[in-house]
Amino acid sequence: MDLRQDCFWMGDRFAHSLLEESDDINRLDDGNFWAVSISYEGEVRLARFEEVLVSAFPFSASTLLASENQWRSSLSKSEYCSYVEEIRQAIASGWVYQVNACRIISSDFDGDELASLFAKILTENPAPYAAYLSLPEIQIASATPELFLRRIGSEITTSPIKGTQDLSAKEFGNKDQSENVMIVDLMRNDLGRICQPGSVDVAELLRSEDHPGLRHLVSDVVGTLKADLTWKEIFTSLLPAGSLVVHQRVQL
């Protein structure tokens, strides 16, 4: 049996041997261990496995990585500049007040499986919330420093990141701090929908975190959930995430 298939790993928790998949988010309330993938468009994919172990990622790293000149952008420089100008005009017209302007950077991978590439990512970018998911119809290798949601009993935490700089920079500017505070207010509002009145608080505001090559500005928003909430109610209130998670997704 090839454990690189039909498995999940995150935070030293390794689950393998797929038992079932479901798109019914209410299944999360049954007390079992589930791997959860929810797309920005709201497509739900849940996976339950036969065995869940405490383990480092158990597969060796690949030497097959794309060279710098093999990466492709979904937008050319001129297209991206036009995209930014459209956003500037929308802001000036009052339609939006902030836009996360994104593009897709992609490259071909010559390997026949993703696990070894993810192991390589872990060595180069040991992101605290890195995760790997392999199912029959989807494979995801994610490397993110950002905590979207942690729940321990009735206590819930979200830690949005807004503000990024080179490690050589001395301090974050006013723009980074203002953007972070804005997202903190947004997440306080989101948690307020599902938490007990008066329990939502900013546990830590504008702390800096160092990662390979980058420094991020992070805040922690916490709260106590209302009684008898289902996971569906929690995710419905919090998705799509107010602070978009930075990740690497590799598709074979």
Quickly count: other Cβ atoms within 10 Å of residue 109's Cβ: 18
Catalytic residue from among 20, 85, 146, 175: 146
Evaluate whether 68 touches 38 at the Cβ level (below 8 Å). Answer: no
Residue 173, both tokens: 């500017």
The verdict on whether 79 is a catalytic residue reads no
The verdict on whether 124 is a catalytic residue reads no
Residue 86, both tokens: 């459209």
Chain centroid offset of residue 60 CA? 23
Residue 61, both tokens: 């790293």
Quickly count: other Cβ atoms within 10 Å of residue 238's Cβ: 18
Provide the sign of the torsion angle of the four alpha carbons 49, 149, 234, 95, taken in this order: negative
Catalytic residue from among 162, 170, 226, 232: 162
Q: List Cα–Cα distances, 128 to 12, 97, 105, 193, 230, in angstroms.
A: 11, 30, 22, 28, 27
* Structural element, H or E, at residue 84: helix 77-92
Residue 114, both tokens: 């993703």
Contacts of 67 (CB under 8 A, 6+ apart): none
Q: Which are the catalytic amino acids?
A: 146, 162
